[in-house]
Amino acid sequence: MRKPLLEFTDKGIYCSAAMVYLDPWKPVDRAIITHGHADHSRYGHRQYITHHNNMPIISHRLGEINVLGKNWGETFLINNVKFSLHPAGHIIGSSQIRVEYKGEVWVFTGDYKTENDGFTTPYEVVKCDTFITECTFGLPAFKWIPQKEVFQDINQWWAENQAEGKTSILFGYSLGKAQRLLKYLNPEIGKIYTHGAIENMTNVLRPMVEFPETNLITRETKKEELLGNLVLAPPSAHGSTWIRKMVPYVTASASGWMTFRGARRRRAIDKGFVLSDHCDWQGLLDSIKATGAEKVICTHGYSEIFSRYLREQGYDARTEETQYEGELNELNATKEESVAMN
Amino acid sequence: MKNFAQLIKTLDSTNKTNLKVKALSEYFKIANDKDKVWTIAILSHRRPPRPVNTTLLREWASQLSNIPLWLFEESYHIVGDLAETIALIIPSKKSSTEKTLTQFLEEMIALKKKTDEEKQAYLFENWECLDYYERFVFTKLITGGFRIGVSQKLMTRALSKATQIDEDILAYKLMGNWDPNSITFKELVLEENESDYLSKPYPFYLAYAIEKEVEDLGEVSDWSAEHKWDGIRSQVILRNDELFVWSRGEELVTDKYPEFEAFIRTIPNGTVIDGEILPYLNDQIGTFNDLQTRIGRKKVSKALLEKVPVILKAYDLLEWEGKDLRNRPFIERRQLLEKLYSAVSSSGVEKPLHLSKTMHFTSWKEVAQERDLAREMHSEGLMLKRRDSPYLVGRKKGDWWKWKVDPLTIDAVLTYAMRGHGRRSNLFTDYTFALWDEKKNGEKELVTFAKAYSGLTDAEFRKVDTWIKKNTLERFGPVRSVTPYHVFEIAFEGIAFSKRHKSGIATRFPRILRWRQDKNIHEANSLNDLRKQIPGEPQK
């Protein structure tokens, strides 16, 4: 039997015909990287190939690396295997990786979302035979509300807190979620303050996207000047002394996990906004159908449940273990992790 | 319904007690009277009987959302709450309803008697015309168990704020048996009505566990000590030649304990005794495990009455000659109680009334020595009551303290895990623990002995959860077996032989004391080590 075009190895997803790894979790010679989140772009590879827009992000995160930039849809050959990157809509610079060899096409999604957020290059359907998909939110309980409505709620929440003379603290992952929040917060309500990790990452992205003005919180920042304004902070800052100094405040988290009442209460957050950079249940089903793939491989998320459902729908679907975490960091981030993340 | 759903949403979106009280009291000011009564009923666990069983709810919800039943079940295990799962999965339509909370509850009461087809049609119609929060609340009312982080105490405080009626008086008014379907807000809350009080118990005074050194309580001579008995805390009421027995959970349990009928006409009318219902076998107090056989039964058979008879161990006298004694000092109430007790016991007939002995010590050291005897006496430890203390309402600090014996402990191996509910949904927090046992062929095996789901910090639970997800051996629906690897120190209050448990031993209140990361599984204890902890049992 011929070897499959992409295999799941202990280092990551491997294309033996091209001797290239996709988003590997252990150091390798050559890695094609979907996007800049820590579980997909790790330290220690000899060469990184990724989309141009992701280059400043991973360079910021990983420091001096050997990285080669590509455009959307630009094909490049490695040992006669044809690769190209296509927008995944997850965060700025996030790609799906298309792999074609001897007439067979595989697509690896990395992380993706189908909703157009208005500033990330929107997700594009790529036809393929085998589709390797994430399924972080692969349960019918997940149904996203259009972001316009979510941001109305968020801005209203901010205005209400302001009326009560309180500081609004909004948690979101420092790469991706924080910028999406920033993009649609209404700067007419008040000033937007940032945690250092978010400020730095936003500055990396400013040349590509126009964002409202932010104010970095420093040791000199007085808590009085924060009152009525909004602080953007990474989830790991929740419960820290850094936050506790800001009383009186109200906290909120923006994440797909906020669908669950329990997830919010467990973290003792006052308010939860359901906002995700991943697909919801219907988003996953629709995009799988649109690819025309017969074979589906489910990676991180509720993969067992999701692939069983796909099999019942007539797909040749299975799961593969990976070390990707999806949006887990937003749910369970601890202080140690945040140090590693930033 | 819109008001009520909005209230639940507001309560749900804050962790701060003050904001919850504020939201509730504002609701009490604007809601109509019938809705207010129902809200009080729901928040004090008086919901109408469940009109539809949960099996049918699951089937119909998966049908309406057009997904297979197994997928609904999987989602439910992850979400951790049935009403929430249904609210999330069923597609929302754009229509809406103006029906009030009361209308919905009246419909639910009527629904119980209808056919399955009618029930299904009713649910389909309402699920679809409600928005997410309304659908959650509606389904929660059907499934019952409305636990949303609002205690009865908090609700009473909000009601007091809205009506300007004293909180303790309200607590008293809201106790006992009342039917939200027929009572008016005026009758329940606003009016003074003597005849209503016939069956009413007083709110129980509950103690906190002692926090500091017992010596910090001051002069030992100011304190009265007695054993803390492990049964069902109850009030026995005699008024108008009628008997009422109330458990601490505000459940009327008169029919479950026919022994106490002997009190009618032996104990004068206008008497309320606070005490503990205890199993009493062969002239000694049994274990909680013995009592368990009585708790679940509504109608008790003659055989069971003979096998596990109960007595009332009297602590306190709250009402005497129809007068509320709660503001009198404890020793004065005790004197009256003792007088009552000797009158009853000298009446010749054997009555199931015992006195919980009060003890007075001259040093805290003697108190501690008495506490050490607790397990032998089948008590949980000591209660310390200030001699001049009034009988307060609810859990209050200062005058009464419980001083329990230190729990028994054993080191056990984590073998199975299940996802938690509520704030722990989606996390594996419900664990099963096992101890070593030797098979006949000398081989060692792990035998399940207890389940526990409290005692770790949120951060520890997250760590164990991550580990479980990576070390699952097998899945049995919501339960996973895991590689035996982690050792936990399990604490428990009581221990007894049991035929209902696989290990042959039942433990009371098992909980996790510590995660013993310093121990490997071979250093965990054996079933035999556990057996040795059973008091008074021969060591095998």
Task: Tell me what pLDDT residue A337 has.
Answer: 31
- Distance separating alpha carbons of residues A283 and A114, to the nearest angstrom: 6
Task: Tell me what pLDDT residue A332 has.
Answer: 47
Residue of A156, A240, A247, A261 to mutate when probing chain B, most B C-beta within 10 A: A261
Question: What's the mean pLDDT in B438-455?
Answer: 89
Q: What percent of chain A has pLDDT over 90?
A: 82
CB contact under 8 A, A140 and B65: yes
Structure tokens at A65: 């690396």
Q: Give the gap in angstroms from C-alpha B172 to the nearest C-alpha of chain A.
A: 31
pLDDT tens-place string over residues A169-217: 999 999 999 999 999 999 999 999 999 999 999 999 999 999 999 999 9
| 3-class secondary-structure state, position B435 | strand
Q: Above 60 in pLDDT, residue B501?
A: yes
Chain B CB contacts of A305 under 8 Å are: 71, 74
pLDDT band at residue B478 using 50, 70 and 90 as cut-offs? confident
Question: What's the mean pLDDT in B446-473?
Answer: 88
CB contact under 8 A, A305 and B71: yes
Cβ of A259 under 8 Å from any chain B Cβ?
yes
The answer to whether A251 and A271 are in contact (CB under 8 A) is yes
Residue whose token pair is 């252990």 = A26
Most confident of A85-94, B178-187, B387-396: A85-94
Q: Above 60 in pLDDT, residue B335?
A: yes
Cβ of A306 under 8 Å from any chain B Cβ?
no
**Counts for chain A of helices (H) and strands (E), in that order:** 11, 19
Question: What's the mean pLDDT in B61-86?
Answer: 93
pTM above 0.90, yes or no: no
Q: Above 90 in pLDDT, residue A334?
A: no
Is omega for the bond preceding A248 within 30 degrees of 0, making it cis?
yes
Structure tokens at B71: 């997928």
Chain B CB contacts of A266 under 8 Å are: 423-424, 427, 458
Q: What is the ipTM of this complex?
A: 0.90
CB contact under 8 A, A259 and B88: yes
Question: What's the mean pLDDT in A304-327?
Answer: 89
C-alpha separations of B261 from B14, B347, B480 in Å: 47, 15, 49
Chain A CB contacts of B65 under 8 Å are: 140
Nearest CB neighbour to A260, from listed B68, B79, B459 = B79
Nearest CB neighbour to B89, from listed A141, A263, A309 = A141
Cβ of A265 under 8 Å from any chain B Cβ?
yes
C-alpha separations of B502 from B449, B451, B482, B498 in Å: 7, 12, 19, 9
Nearest CB neighbour to B78, from listed A139, A268, A334 = A139
Q: Give the gap in angstroms from C-alpha B503 to the nearest C-alpha of chain A.
A: 34
CB contact under 8 A, A260 and B425: yes
Cβ of B462 under 8 Å from any chain A Cβ?
yes
Chain A CB contacts of B471 under 8 Å are: none
Please pick, among B228, B256, B313, B385, the residue that the annotation labels catalytic: B228
- Distance separating alpha carbons of residues B173 and B175, to the nearest angstrom: 6
Domain formed by B2-143, architecture: Orthogonal Bundle (1.10)
Cβ of B64 under 8 Å from any chain A Cβ?
no
CB contact under 8 A, A270 and B424: no
Residues of chain B within CATH 1.10.3260.10 domain(s) are 2-143
DSSP E strands in chain A: the ranges are 7-8, 13-15, 20-22, 30-32, 47-51, 67-70, 76-78, 81-87, 95-101, 104-108, 130-135, 167-171, 192-194, 215-216, 230-233, 249-254, 271-273, 295-301, 316-319
Q: Above 80 in pLDDT, residue B251?
A: no
Cβ of B454 under 8 Å from any chain A Cβ?
no
* Residue contacts between A and B (CB atoms, under 8 Å): 68
Task: Tell me what pLDDT residue A326 has.
Answer: 64
pLDDT tens-place string over residues A229-275: 999 999 989 888 888 889 899 999 999 999 988 777 777 788 899 99
Task: Tell me what pLDDT residue A335 has.
Answer: 32
Residue of B9, B11, B15, B463 to mutate when probing chain A, most A C-beta within 10 A: B15
For residue A144, give the chain B residue with the closest CA: B88
pLDDT tens-place string over residues B261-314: 999 888 999 999 999 999 998 888 888 888 888 887 767 888 888 999 999 999
Q: How are beta strands B271-281 and B310-320 bridged, if at all? A: antiparallel
Chain A CB contacts of B70 under 8 Å are: 308
Domains plus CATH for chain A?
A: 7-142+277-337 (3.60.15.10), 147-273 (3.40.50.10890)
pLDDT band at residue B350 using 50, 70 and 90 as cut-offs? low
- Distance separating alpha carbons of residues B66 and A134, to the nearest angstrom: 23
Cβ of B131 under 8 Å from any chain A Cβ?
no
Work out the mean pLDDT of chain B and round it to a whole number. 89
pLDDT tens-place string over residues B512-521: 999 998 889 9
Task: Tell me what pLDDT residue A340 has.
Answer: 29
Task: Tell me what pLDDT residue A270 has.
Answer: 86
Residue whose token pair is 């990287």 = A33
CB contact under 8 A, A140 and B459: no
Q: Above 70 in pLDDT, residue B170?
A: yes
For residue A310, give the chain B residue with the closest CA: B71
Chain B CB contacts of A312 under 8 Å are: 68
Q: Above 70 in pLDDT, residue B3?
A: yes
Task: Tell me what pLDDT residue A1 has.
Answer: 61
Give the angle B341-B343-B317 at the CA atoms, nearest 5°: 35
Task: Tell me what pLDDT residue B403 has.
Answer: 94
Cβ of B14 under 8 Å from any chain A Cβ?
yes
pLDDT band at residue B422 using 50, 70 and 90 as cut-offs? low
CB contact under 8 A, A266 and B149: no
pLDDT tens-place string over residues A55-106: 999 999 999 999 999 999 999 999 999 999 999 999 999 999 999 999 999 9
C-alpha separations of A287 from A132, A296, B72, B399 in Å: 12, 11, 22, 66
CB contact under 8 A, A261 and B466: no
Chain B CB contacts of A259 under 8 Å are: 88
Cβ of A302 under 8 Å from any chain B Cβ?
yes
Q: What percent of chain B has pLDDT over 70?
A: 97
CB contact under 8 A, B15 and A143: no
Structure tokens at B246: 């109330």
- Please name the fold of domain B408-531: OB fold (Dihydrolipoamide Acetyltransferase, E2P) (2.40.50)
Query: Is residue B228 annotated as a catalytic residue, yes or no?
Result: yes
Q: Above 80 in pLDDT, residue B12?
A: yes
- Distance separating alpha carbons of residues B379 and B227, to the nearest angstrom: 6
Low-confidence winner among B101-110, B270-279, B472-481 (lowest mean pLDDT): B472-481
Q: What is the CA radius of gyration of chain A?
A: 20
Amino acid making up residue A269: I
Cβ of B472 under 8 Å from any chain A Cβ?
no
For residue B92, give the chain A residue with the closest CA: A143
Residue of A39, A135, A139, A149 to mutate when probing chain B, most B C-beta within 10 A: A139
Low-confidence winner among A203-207, A238-242, A334-338, B47-51 (lowest mean pLDDT): A334-338
| Largest interatomic CA distance in chain B | 74
The answer to whether B493 and B513 are in contact (CB under 8 A) is no
Q: How are beta strands A81-87 and A95-101 bridged, if at all? A: antiparallel
Task: Tell me what pLDDT residue B540 has.
Answer: 40
pLDDT band at residue B539 using 50, 70 and 90 as cut-offs? very low
Cβ of B84 under 8 Å from any chain A Cβ?
yes
Task: Tell me what pLDDT residue B538 has.
Answer: 47
More confident residue, B538 or B175: B175
Task: Tell me what pLDDT residue B536 has.
Answer: 64
Q: Above 60 in pLDDT, residue B71?
A: yes
CB contact under 8 A, B84 and A305: no
Cβ of A103 under 8 Å from any chain B Cβ?
no
For residue B62, give the chain A residue with the closest CA: A140
Residues of chain B within CATH 2.40.50.140 domain(s) are 408-531
- Distance separating alpha carbons of residues B178 and B37, to the nearest angstrom: 10
Residue B408's closest CA among B233, B278, B537, B532?
Answer: B532
Low-confidence winner among A99-103, B134-138, B249-253, B454-458 (lowest mean pLDDT): B249-253
Residue of A265, A285, A304, A306 to mutate when probing chain B, most B C-beta within 10 A: A265
Q: Above 60 in pLDDT, residue B537?
A: no
Q: Above 90 in pLDDT, residue B144?
A: no
The answer to whether A225 and A237 are in contact (CB under 8 A) is no
Dihedral angle sign, alpha carbons of residues A153, A154, A159, A161: positive
Q: Above 50 in pLDDT, residue B91?
A: yes
Work out the mean pLDDT of chain A and round it to a whole number. 91
- Distance separating alpha carbons of residues A50 and A84, to the nearest angstrom: 10
Q: Above 80 in pLDDT, residue A330?
A: no
Amino acid making up residue B371: R
Task: Tell me what pLDDT residue B187 has.
Answer: 86
CATH of domain B205-404: 3.30.470.30
**Counts for chain B of helices (H) and strands (E), in that order:** 18, 22
Q: Give the gap in angstroms from C-alpha A276 to the nearest C-alpha of chain B.
A: 16
pLDDT band at residue B525 using 50, 70 and 90 as cut-offs? very high
